[in-house]
């Protein structure tokens, strides 16, 4: 049986939807566990308690389940690179693209093991306006945080974000013994790109490479711009062997890019060093080993990855 996946519904939040909450029709003549109006009133208070999108959607999922059996939901918001999965995945889905006055507020997908009927979809849609201002505020808050911790050119994390995140991850690895690896990578012959094609072209290359790197990584992995054409990839809970495979995949992904300038196809490659945390070394020691492995890769001919010793 094929999952029930309606074509992307576009929910435009407006006052008419809000005013119709008391008039949601029901085909049943038996009491239901909760009404849309009751849940709407409760959510109006509960969703004001946080600016964290994951907490807001967790509260919303709990409320939805009081009306409609739902296994889980997923949420995506491209501009802030936010991806959340709550509950359990299931084959039958209904998808909503949330908009307000032309502004995208993300894509929300409800999942469960059986098909949604029309009445259940109506109830889901009647609750969605509860998310309008709380979710929009959470996205604005997240965007402000990202702006303070993000490289303005590439969208990767900046040095401040890298220092904060790595300090926390090293402490967790030291305290709990969980694996942690980093990849230090550098664009090969990047100076010649700037010299030959100009700095605007070089900027486009850096942005394209950052996007390519992110596309090959898990949600929990992070990319930081270390400086110039040098990047650092943080691989949480990843031992050396797995990190080496990720590094090789990233090298191949960049090498296979088809970046075109006004003079035609521009080949791109990266050199990379891989280091895994060793108790009780410091963060500086971990980065120094990754950096040493990177320069070993460059000395050995570039376009390759080397493991730190």
Residues identified as active-site: 229
Look at the block and give the residue holding tokens 């305290």: 175
Classify strands 9-12 and 72-77 as parallel, antiparallel or unpaired: unpaired
> According to the 3-state scheme, what is the secondary structure of 186-255?
EECCHHHHHHHHCHHHHHHHHHHHHHHHHHCCCCCCEEEEEECCEEEEEEECCCHHHHHHHHHHHHHHHH
Which residue, 83, 291, 197, is CA-closest to 206? 197
Identify the helix (H) or strand (E) that includes residue 9.
Answer: strand 9-12
Cβ-based neighbour number of residue 205 at 10 Å: 21
Angle, to 10 degrees, between the axis of helix 240-255 and the axis of helix 199-215? 140
Beta strands across the sheet bearing 103-112? 9-12, 92-100, 103-112, 72-77, 82-87
Q: Extract the tokens encoding 83.
A: 């991806």
Angle, to 10 degrees, between the axis of helix 53-65 and the axis of helix 118-127? 140
Dist CA 150 CA 207 (whole Å): 13
């Amino acid at each position: 049986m094929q999952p029930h996946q309606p074509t992307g519904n576009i929910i435009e939040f407006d006052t008419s939807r809000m005013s119709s909450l008391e008039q949601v029709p029901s085909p049943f003549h038996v009491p239901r566990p909760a009404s849309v109006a009751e849940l709407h009133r409760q959510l109006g208070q509960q969703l004001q308690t946080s600016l964290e999108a994951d907490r807001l959607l967790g509260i919303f999922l709990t409320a939805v389940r009081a009306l409609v059996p739902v296994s889980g939901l997923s949420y995506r918001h491209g501009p802030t690179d936010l991806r959340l999965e709550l509950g359990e995945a299931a084959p039958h889905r209904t998808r909503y693209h949330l908009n307000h006055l032309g502004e995208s507020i993300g894509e929300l997908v409800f999942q469960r093991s059986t098909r949604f009927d029309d009445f259940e979809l109506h109830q889901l849609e009647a609750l969605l306006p509860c998310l309008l201002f709380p979710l929009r505020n959470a996205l604005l808050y997240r965007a402000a945080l990202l702006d303070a911790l993000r490289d303005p050119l590439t969208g990767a994390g900046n040095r401040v974000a890298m220092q904060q995140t790595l300090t926390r991850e090293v402490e967790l690895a030291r305290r709990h013994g969980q694996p942690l690896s980093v990849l230090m990578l550098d664009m090969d012959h990047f100076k010649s790109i700037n010299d030959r094609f100009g700095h605007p072209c070089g900027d486009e290359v850096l942005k394209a490479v950052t996007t390519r790197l992110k596309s090959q990584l898990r949600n929990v992995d992070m990319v930081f711009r270390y400086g110039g054409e040098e990047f650092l990839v943080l691989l949480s809970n990843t031992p050396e062997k797995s990190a080496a495979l990720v590094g090789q995949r990233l090298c191949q992904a960049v090498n296979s890019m088809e970046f075109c300038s006004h003079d035609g196809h521009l080949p791109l490659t990266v050199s990379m060093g891989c280091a895994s945390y060793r108790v009780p070394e410091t963060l500086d020691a971990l980065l120094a080993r990754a950096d040493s492995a990177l320069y070993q890769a460059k000395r050995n001919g570039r376009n390759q990855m080397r493991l730190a010793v």
